[in-house]
Chain A
Amino acid sequence: MPNEITVTVNGARHTSSVEPRTLLAHYLRDELGLTGTHVGCDTSQCGACTVVVDGAAVKSCTMLAVQADGSEVVTIEGLAQDGELHPVQEGFWEEHGLQCGFCTPGIIMTLHQVLEEQPDPSEQEIRHSLAGNICRCTGYQNIVKAAQYAAQRMQEQA
């Protein structure tokens, strides 16, 4: 039996009819065409599907679309404002924080939320905050640097 849900994604309201078992990740990708959110695993390890739901970073493969009913969701497509990259996105570009780019949207969304809560994290805190994200390309070296770059930019902007 499909359920009707209303979700605000990147500021736009969507009312959709979804199967109860539909994952938020598949709803975003297949229903709304927001393919920037990637699905990298099926056991909640890799974090490629991370989006922000009501201010919290969430693995969208581990949440049902019906659980997002009434929520505000921000995906990678909604992070840049008026064509201006978010400092975390800027950090990834400046510091070569990505190679194949597949894990990148999820890691950016994770770090985006981490830096909201902890504006000046140590290297170890950054590494710890990425315990739910896997990158196979970068050895995380430049991801850490991207986070440090973003933290500094955000402090300058604050």
Chain B
Amino acid sequence: MVAGQISKLIGSRVKRKEDPRLITGEGKYTDDVILPNMAYFAVLRSPYAHARINSIDTAQAAAHPDVLGVMTGAEVNERCSEPFPLFAILDDMKYPERWPMAAAKVTYVGEPVAAVAASSRAAARDALDLIDVDYEPLPVVTDMETAADAGQPLIHEELGTNLCYEAADQAGDPDRAFAEADGVVEARLEQPRLIPNPMETRAAVADYERSSGNATLWVTTQNPHIERMVAARMLGMPENKLRVIAIDVGGGFGCKINTYSESIIAIALAERIGRPVKWAEDRTEHFVSTSHGRGQAQYVEAAYKKDGTLLGMKLKIYADLGAYAQVISHVIPTLTPSLSPGVYGIRDIGWTTIGVYTNKIPYDAYRGAGRPEAAYIIERVMDLIADATGKDPVAVRRKNFIPKDAFPYETPTGMEYDSADYDAALDKALAIADYDGLRAEQKAQRKAGNLMGIGVTVTTEVCGFGPAAAMGGLGGFESATVRVDPMGKVTVLTGASPHGQGEETSFAQIVADDLGVPFEDVEIIHGDTSIVARGVGTFGSRTLVVGGTAILKANEQIKDKAKRIATALLEDKIGDTLAPQSITLEDGLFAVQDMPDQYVTWAEVGSEAYDGQLLPEDEQPGLEAVSFWEPPGLTFPFSAHIAVVEIDQDTGEVSLKRYVSVDDCGTVINPTLVEGQIHGGLAQGIGQALLEQAVWDDEGQLVSGSLMDYAMPFAQEFPMFELDRTVTPSPVNPLGAKGIGEMATISATPTVANAVVDALSHLGVTHVDIPMTGERIWRVLQKHGRRRRGGRS
């Protein structure tokens, strides 16, 4: 944006460009791809969490009349020239080679063992039953806290341990902080594994052209270029022989970052049978074949002073990586201590992060990825200090805020916070909620014997990833190609791969304002590696921040050249020489300075760019620019949230009565889209607090293994959320944007958890683990009764 330019669309509630196709059934999701002569494949998965494969017999399946090809794990793995690549390998990290399928041993329920291609979906499924696998079950490791103990069964014998890494570090002098403290609070906090469950499960369609050796893979991914890089490497193909397409993707939330085995299997089978193949994951299959999120056991000790000051913290964090590390999944737990100071000026902190292998499906990013776990720790700690000092949770937070004049602010854990004003956000949230009124109401409710709780949090998170150093080899940039055609219409190719966030709309708003063209004249193209310049993808709330800025950078080149072309056109018009500096671009018109009647339009400039008859000799035709932009630093949105809950004393059931969400994501391009991200983020965070968890039995079977058993939030669970915002632009990108995809999820879980504990605090309850299901709260009520035992007033 040119400084001082009047924004027309940036900041406006523009309706989405994406919607017409999606509300009429014209969306193009991976499972919607139908190719001539297409076959279907299904994947046989391990029913055991840990077992040796003695033998596998596929003869009967191969003999099925509708079967076109069967591949065992050994055959698919043999087709590959290298195992799954890992990025951002940590110091002293132990990791096994991981190939697409299990061949000698299975290490989690759901691990792929064999695949069958057949002429129909149903026949492929039928044929799975004809494959005979002789398993020898082995003892199972499911508990992350004891997984690395001596004597545990080894998941990967070659490593000699189930420990992936143990990383210990400290900043300042935590021992001194604890020695100087008036008191110490401590807790063990559970972060159950969650199952991302985007409404579109995964799918893959592969087409292989034998004549050229070119392959096309349609796949449900958040990052087609990373998918191509990984799949091409594994299959030993040059990247330019593999085209990855992901046009409409039905949500990801982190679980569609990874390149999964099915992409490799699809291409291998298409090659083998000489026909295109499709695989679409069942929902129940999704539970055991798509990565989970969260999964930590957190031990925290916090030293405080009587006035509520947090002096220091010591953290020990166990992370349940599952059977393998993938992409950068192992790095996610390390974000938890990094972000654990939250919005507070704590300087003395020590931490140990222990990543272990277990006999479970690998874990990976899930909306927030490492930061929700951090916010949960620090925001529970603030309430524990409030309990211990008898102070109001709001007062304790204010006492510890990093002041607004301290930014940019480097945390003791090495994060550079870009900008913030936490008091302003908190003030707004308190006013909307009528906090004092709520506390008075709570008093009255308690008197009447009812359980009402108020939860408050103020949180921050890190997003807008890169730069490259923060990405461990995946790249920290985003790309944009901006193309003006002879009609003056604009096409933008973005390397980011939005899948529900609405960047077809917000990017078009940015371009329309910046170039002065109508919103309707801008088309945004994404999700095809053969068309779009290399990009990184959509995750970590980076797309608007990094991808949006890349577009601005390409626009700068476009505007420069367009002005030179306009100069030539205007010189021809007025029959005089003009300096390109004397040409202004305003409202989409290139005019001669001080001669507003003398102008040309984008259509005239676009046409001349390709017609080229009037172009100066040193000017080449065309009007297209490619830009790659890497941010110099990370962004830190923040929020102040307040939840009000009531608890049914007979059933323990929690009902969420109000939710106030004041969020600051810097410059807002489209308030409607930002609010949408907050709504969905809140729903996921509230779901985590009250309902969702992956439950495993001792044999490593996922008990909550279908939508019948895993509690996803429904419409009835929520009131209308009350949203507002503050705007503190980020200095690290010219848009001033911070990213909003994950903020609300990160805040919502501790906010609701704090509200539930607050409802019970007068009974002496200081902590209840999530999810705070009716049963769990009922048990707490049975134990604590209704007697008053101190706690907050």
Please give, as numbers and ranges, the residues of chain A lying within 8 Å of B714 by CB-CB distance: 127, 130-131, 133-134, 140
B682 at the interface (CB under 8 A from A): yes
- Cross-chain contact B200 with A127 (CB below 8 angstroms): no
Decide: B248 and A138 in contact? CB cutoff 8 A. Answer: no
Contacts of A92 in B (CB 8 A): 19, 23
The reply to whether A143 and B715 form a contact with Cβ atoms under 8 Å apart is: yes
Q: From the candidates A39, A76, A123, A141, name the one contacting B25 in the complex (CB within 8 A).
A: A76
- Are A80 and B250 in contact, CB atoms less than 8 angstroms apart? no
B707 within 8 A of A: yes
Q: Is the CB of A77 within 8 A of B283?
A: no
- In the complex, the answer to whether A138 meets B16 with C-beta atoms within 8 Å is no
The stretch of B78-86, B415-423, B496-504, B647-655 that contacts the partner chain? B496-504
Any A CB within 8 A of the CB of B316 = no
Closest Cβ of chain A to B677, distance in Å, is 8
Q: Mark A61-84, 1 if CB is under 8 A from B, else 0.
A: 000000000000001110110000
B657 to chain A, nearest CB (A): 14
Closest to A102 in B: B250
- Asked whether A38 lies within 8 Å of B676 as measured between CB atoms, the reply is no
Encode contact with B along A33-57: 1 for CB under 8 Å, 0 otherwise: 1111111111101101000000000
A99 at interface by CB-CB < 8 Å: yes
| Chain B residues in 8 Å Cβ range of A140 | 683, 714-715, 718
**A60 interfacial by beta-carbon distance below 8 Å:** no
In the complex, which range does the number of interface residues on chain A fall in? 35 or more
Check B283 against A40 for contact (C-beta < 8 Å).
Answer: yes
Contact (A30, B499) CB under 8 Å given A130-B715, A140-B683: no
Asked if residues B121 and A35 are in contact (CB atoms below 8 Å), the reply is no
User: In whole angstroms, what is the CA distance A122 to B675 when docked?
Assistant: 23
B28-42 contacts to A, CB under 8 A, are 29, 31-32, 34
A123 contacts B198, CB within 8 Å?
Answer: no
Q: Is the CB of A142 within 8 A of B19?
A: no
Which chain B positions have C-beta within 8 A of A43?
283-284, 706-708
Interface of B: prevailing SS: loop
Residues of chain A within 8 A of B680, CB atoms compared:
99, 136-139
Interface string of B80-95 (1 = CB under 8 A from A): 0000000000000000
Contact (Cβ within 8 A) B283 A136? no
Chain B residues near A46 (CB-CB < 8 A): 199, 283, 707
Contact A38 B24 (CB under 8 A): no
> Which residues of chain A are within 8 angstroms of B198 by Cβ–Cβ distance?
100, 102, 136
* A9 contacts chain B at the CB level, 8 A cutoff: no
How many Å lie between the Cα of A103 and that of B360 in the bound state? 29
Asked if residues B715 and A126 are in contact (CB atoms below 8 Å), the reply is: yes
Q: CB-CB < 8 A to B501: which residues of A? A: 99
CB-based contact A144/B23 at 8 Å: no
Is A21 among interface residues, defined by CB-CB distance under 8 A? Answer: yes
- In A76-132, the 8 Å CB interface with B consists of 76-77, 79-80, 85, 89, 92-94, 96, 98-105, 108, 123-124, 126-128, 130-131
Task: Indicate whether A26 reaches chain B with its CB closer than 8 angstroms.
Answer: yes
Determine whether A24 belongs to the interface, using a CB cutoff of 8 Å to chain B: no
Q: How far is the CA of A102 from the CA of B203 in the complex (A)?
A: 13
CB distance from A39 to the nearest CB of B (A): 7
Interchain CB contact (< 8 A) of A93 among B20, B27, B251, B720: B20
CB distance from B117 to the nearest CB of A (A): 16
Q: Would you call B251 and A102 a contact (CB within 8 A)?
A: yes
Q: Is A135 an interface residue (CB 8 A)?
A: yes
Bound state CA distance, A19 and B126, in angstroms?
14
| One of B27, B122, B199 near A36 (C-beta < 8 A) | B27
Looking at the assembled complex, report how far the CB atom of B55 sits from the nearest CB atom of chain A, in whole angstroms: 30
C-alpha gap A140/B518 in the complex (Å): 32
Report A-chain residues with C-beta under 8 Å of the C-beta of B25. Answer: 34-37, 75-77, 105
- Cβ-defined contact, A144 with B715, below 8 A: yes
Specify which of A40, A94, A100 is in contact with B500 (CB 8 Å cutoff): A100
* Closest A residue, CB atoms, query B23: A89
Residues of B contacting A76 in the complex (Cβ-Cβ under 8 angstroms): 23-25
| Complex CA distance for A124 and B500, rounded to whole angstroms | 26
Q: How far is the CA of A35 from the CA of B16 in the complex (A)?
A: 21
Interface centre among B15, B201, B672, B714, by most chain A C-beta atoms within 10 angstroms, is: B714
Assess whether B673 is interfacial by the CB under 8 Å rule: yes
Specify which chain A residues have a CB less than 8 angstroms from the CB of B122 in the assembled complex. 19, 21-22
Chain A CB within 8 A of B556 CB? no
Instruction: Map CB proximity to A onto B99-137 as digits: 1 under 8 Å, 0 otherwise.
Output: 000000000000000000000011000000000000000
Partner of B284, one of A29, A42, A75, A144: A42
CB pairs A–B below 8 angstroms (20 shown): A38-B29, A43-B708, A45-B707, A45-B712, A48-B199, A89-B24, A93-B19, A96-B15, A98-B22, A100-B200, A102-B29, A102-B198, A102-B251, A104-B22, A134-B707, A136-B680, A139-B681, A140-B715, A141-B679, A144-B720
6 interchain residue pairs of minimum CB distance? A36-B25, A102-B250, A100-B500, A101-B22, A139-B683, A41-B283
